[in-house]
């Protein structure tokens, strides 16, 4: 199974309570239980995934480690790592633990076949708003692992499948008695693998995999939004011996733009205009997000806060030919640092504007407060 986020797998939020997690697990486990989905491989994979997720999230300590380190906290081959909980503490069978009140057993051993699934990987990619507008292909490289070619991924010296583990007879599980209870746990000898090599491969130290830098060309669709997660199936850590390859998740973030703010498919820009331009009208030129020049008409008498919609100059909608709009908001700028000549002209302007009819809002305001003074 490929490793999805455990919270997503259980369809709960990160802040979910233990009770909520348990409830959601019960519901999903019922839905995907093999007894109700005979021969449905997808349901089986899903069932295994929710069991694995629940095994971690129901345990406070493991959940905390997962919150902090993600799947890396429980990776194979992490023995000696303080966050490898090893499943050796007598976990028992969660499924029957939760369902024992109204259902039989039915747990599936996930590893007795000897296969190990690969981990998912995450890659964070920051792009510009222009790149999000046009879409693009991007070469990325990241640390990953590949199957060891010397041992074919078996981790054995002879490169062949290792013999069956003598402790668990290949089941990957052992039974332990705790008082009156018999608990089933993961075999500590083979780690649940079911097979145990006598001589390990010197090239990969028995891991079956080697680190390398993976290079990949990825396609970012036009119109992609900040926070989008692109899943590249099978591009994560490879699985071993028939195990499923992990996926690569590319998390897209979009850099802040100098000019534009984005909301969905629409773009927003604030344009400062001079007092004179706002009064007499004019044209302001701005660069569109696609680089072409946009002429924005300023009507005579434009006020601060006046908005204008320019159709089709926003972002593209993903997988569509539709485009959003560009919203312009004007901000009238009061002139500062006037020279003598400018002051003189403005004084003259004032002297011919005594009746205030060119400032209707100001006129109304002073009429209102005149009444208040009189009261
Ligand atoms: Zn074993
Ligand atoms: Zn090897």
Ligand nearest 112 Cα, by number? 1
Query: What is the CA(166)–ligand 1 centre distance, in A?
Result: 6
Quick one: pLDDT at residue 111?
A: 45
Highest mean pLDDT among 4-13, 107-116, 122-131, 358-367: 122-131
pLDDT band at 114 (very low <50, low <70, confident <90, very high): low
SS3 for 278?
helix
Beta bridge mates, 145: 211
* Torsion angle in degrees (nearest 10) through CA of 255, 258, 259, 262: 10
Q: Is pLDDT of 77 > 50?
A: no
Query: What is the CA(1)–ligand 1 centre distance, in A?
Result: 21
Query: What is the CA(151)–ligand 2 centre distance, in A?
Result: 4
Query: What is the CA(200)–ligand 1 centre distance, in A?
Result: 16
CATH code for the structural domain at 1-108: 1.10.287.110
Query: What is the CA(220)–ligand 1 centre distance, in A?
Result: 45
Residues 6+ apart with CB under 8 A from 236: 2, 3, 118, 119, 120, 121, 144, 245, 246, 247, 248
pLDDT tens digit sequence for 21-47? 988 888 888 888 877 787 788 888 888
Asked if 112-150+208-256 and 261-374 have one fold, the answer is yes
Which CATH architecture group holds 112-150+208-256?
Answer: Sandwich (2.60)
Task: Please give the angle made by the CA atoms of 288, 291 and 297, to the nearest 5 degrees.
Answer: 35
For the chain, domain boundaries: 1-108, 112-150+208-256, 261-374
Q: Is pLDDT of 284 > 90?
A: yes
Q: Is pLDDT of 83 > 50?
A: no
Positive or negative, the Cα torsion across 219, 222, 226, 228? negative
Which CATH architecture group holds 261-374?
Answer: Sandwich (2.60)
Q: Which residues of 42-65 are buried (b: 16+ CB within 10 A; e: fewer)?
A: ebbebbbbbbbbbbbbbbeebbeb
Query: What is the CA(232)–ligand 1 centre distance, in A?
Result: 33
Beta bridge mates, 349: none
Q: Which of 70-79, 202-211, 236-245, 335-344 has the lowest mean pLDDT?
A: 70-79
Average pLDDT over residues 125-139: 96
Quick one: pLDDT at residue 184?
A: 84
Q: Give the ranges where 58-125 is alpha helix by DSSP (H).
A: 60-69, 94-99
Quick one: pLDDT at residue 311?
A: 96
Element (H, E) at 18: helix 18-32
Q: Is pLDDT of 91 > 80?
A: no
Quick one: pLDDT at residue 375?
A: 64
CA distance 1 to 118: 8
CA distance 296 to 315: 18
Query: What is the CA(137)–ligand 2 centre distance, in A?
Result: 34
Average pLDDT over residues 353-363: 80
Q: Is pLDDT of 289 > 90?
A: yes
Average pLDDT over residues 125-134: 96
The pair of structure tokens assigned to 265 is 């498919």
């Amino acid at each position: 199974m490929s490793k999805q986020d455990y919270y997503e797998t259980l369809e709960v939020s990160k802040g979910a309570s233990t009770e909520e997690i348990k409830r959601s697990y019960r519901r999903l486990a019922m839905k995907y239980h093999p007894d109700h989905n005979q021969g449905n491989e997808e349901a089986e994979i899903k069932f295994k995934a929710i069991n694995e997720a629940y095994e971690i999230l129901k345990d406070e300590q493991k959940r905390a480690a997962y919150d902090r380190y993600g799947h890396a906290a429980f990776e194979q081959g992490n023995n000696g790592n303080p966050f490898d909980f090893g499943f050796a503490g007598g976990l028992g069978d969660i499924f029957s633990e939760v369902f024992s009140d109204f259902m039989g057993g039915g747990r599936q051993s996930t590893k007795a076949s000897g296969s190990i699934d690969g981990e998912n990987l995450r890659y964070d990619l920051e792009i510009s708003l222009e790149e999000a507008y046009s879409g693009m292909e991007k070469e990325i490289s990241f640390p990953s692992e590949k199957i060891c070619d010397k041992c074919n991924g078996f981790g054995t010296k002879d490169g062949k499948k290792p013999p069956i583990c003598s402790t668990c007879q290949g089941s990957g599980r052992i039974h332990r008695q705790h008082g009156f209870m018999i608990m089933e746990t993961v075999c500590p000898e083979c780690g649940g693998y079911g097979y145990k090599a006598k001589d390990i491969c010197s090239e990969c130290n028995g891991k079956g995999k080697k680190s390398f830098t993976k290079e990949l060309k990825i396609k970012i669709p036009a119109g992609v939004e900040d926070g989008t997660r692109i899943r590249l199936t099978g591009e994560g850590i490879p699985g071993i011996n028939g195990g499923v390859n992990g996926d690569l998740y590319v998390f897209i973030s979009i850099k802040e733009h100098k000019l534009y703010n984005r909301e969905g498919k629409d773009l927003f820009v604030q344009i400062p205009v001079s007092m004179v331009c706002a009064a007499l009208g004019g044209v302001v030129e701005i660069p569109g997000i696609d680089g072409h020049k946009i002429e924005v008409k300023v009507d005579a008498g434009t006020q601060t806060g006046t908005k204008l919609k320019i159709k089709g100059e926003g972002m593209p909608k993903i997988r569509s030919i539709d485009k959003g709009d560009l919203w312009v908001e004007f901000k009238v700028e009061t002139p500062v640092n006037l020279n003598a000549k400018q002051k003189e002209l403005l004084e003259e302007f004032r002297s011919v504007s005594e009746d205030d009819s060119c400032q209707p809002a100001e006129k109304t305001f002073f009429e209102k407060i005149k009444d208040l003074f009189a009261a």
